[in-house]
Chains A and B, each alone.
Chain A
Amino acid sequence: MTVGRPAPPQSASQLIVACEGIDDQEFLRRMLDHLRISERRIDQYRGKAQLPTYLRGLRDSTDFETIRVVGVIRDGDDSPGGAWQSVRDLLQRLDLPCPTGPGTIGTGRCGVDGITRSIGVFIMPDNNSPGALEDLCLRAVADSASLTCVDEFLACVAARTNVTCRQQDVPKARLNAWLASRADPTLRLGQAVAARQLPPDSPAFDPIKDFLRALAVAASEPDTHTA
């Protein structure tokens, strides 16, 4: 047993956004703040392998009784289509409403109470391309001259030390090096959004912002559920 375990979160939020890890959570928190969507909760499911456990637990928890909208955000990694299919199959297996495609929201009765809820799925970075949150953020700063310096720096390190990261981690390396090159090099990804080093108004963020807005609209609609 975990000694000193904190009490489980008590939430009356009707909207939950579920994401993979701490950076995604911080990014989404700042982006939701930017969009002035304050009535929400952001959960981490600790990586895609844990998403089934998280969603099953959420569905069966007391928390679910107050929830009307769930946004599931997953990295596309090297197969955005496969990531979408994986989430879709999971939602169907758990008898949860399933959207018709990534970036959209599905609605239906679910849970032991049979209440109407909506579930949306967003596959990072844009529902179509391979990648993750870092790829999305790099698009927002694609015009930054510093990115050229970052790439030269990483190439130099690789040439001199034989230290190279895995191909799928290159965007993380580029973004972290870019963040470290700012006037305030201490800011992490989410903080950089709040400080507008990563400009939240960049068109690169439009797809995720549209998705978050759609979730908030669904959560604010009159509660027409009946058990």
Chain B
Amino acid sequence: MIDEIDAGLHFSVLPEVWRIIVAASVEYSVQIFATTHSYECIDAAVKGSAGNDDKLALFRLTRRDGDIRATRVEHEGIRSAVDFALELR
């Protein structure tokens, strides 16, 4: 679990950070949970997971009617939304 994964990092290094994280998770067969409020970080995650398209999913937490609901977005949906600068947070 990596909370606020982009905290303290310049946005320009985020794609490489994600590339390394995704490669490590594949090599060691571990699942990474990372949180962020940053759109640039989501953008970087898409770029950093290129070639491992099925390894990335986004869970958006939304408060509705007093409850917090999680919505899963698959890699293709993330990539599509980022491509058109549509909001994912």
Residues of B within 8 A of A10 (CB): 87
**Which chain B residues border A53 with CB–CB below 8 Å?**
79-80, 83-84
CB-contacts of B61-77 with A (<8 A): 62, 64, 71-74, 76-77
Interface membership of B89, Cβ < 8 A: yes
Tally chain B residues at the interface, Cβ within 8 Å. Answer: 30
Is A57 close to B, CB under 8 A? yes
- Please count the residue pairs between chain A and chain B whose beta carbons lie under 8 angstroms apart in the complex: 73
A227 to B65, CA, bound (A): 11
The verdict on B88 contacting chain A, using a C-beta distance below 8 Å, is: yes
Chain A 73-99 interface residues, beta-carbon cutoff 8 Å to B: none
Task: Specify which chain A residues have a CB less than 8 angstroms from the CB of B73 in the assembled complex.
Answer: 60
**Contact stretch, chosen from A1-9, A22-30, A163-171, A191-199:** A1-9
- Asked if A1 and B44 make an inter-chain contact with CB atoms under 8 angstroms apart, the answer reads yes
| A1-B14, A1-B47, A8-B86 as given contacts; A59 in contact with B62, CB under 8 Å | no
Write out the residue numbers on chain B whose beta carbons fall within 8 Å of the beta carbon of A63. 86-87
Chain B residue with minimal CB distance to A52? B80
A56-B81, A57-B83 are known contacts; what are 6 more A-B pairs with Cβ within 8 Å? A1-B43, A53-B84, A57-B79, A60-B74, A62-B62, A112-B71
10 A-B pairs closest in CB distance: A57-B80, A60-B77, A57-B81, A61-B86, A62-B87, A56-B80, A8-B85, A61-B81, A53-B80, A60-B73
Q: B: which residues have CB within 8 A of A?
A: 11-12, 14-15, 39-40, 43-44, 47, 60, 62, 64, 71-74, 76-89
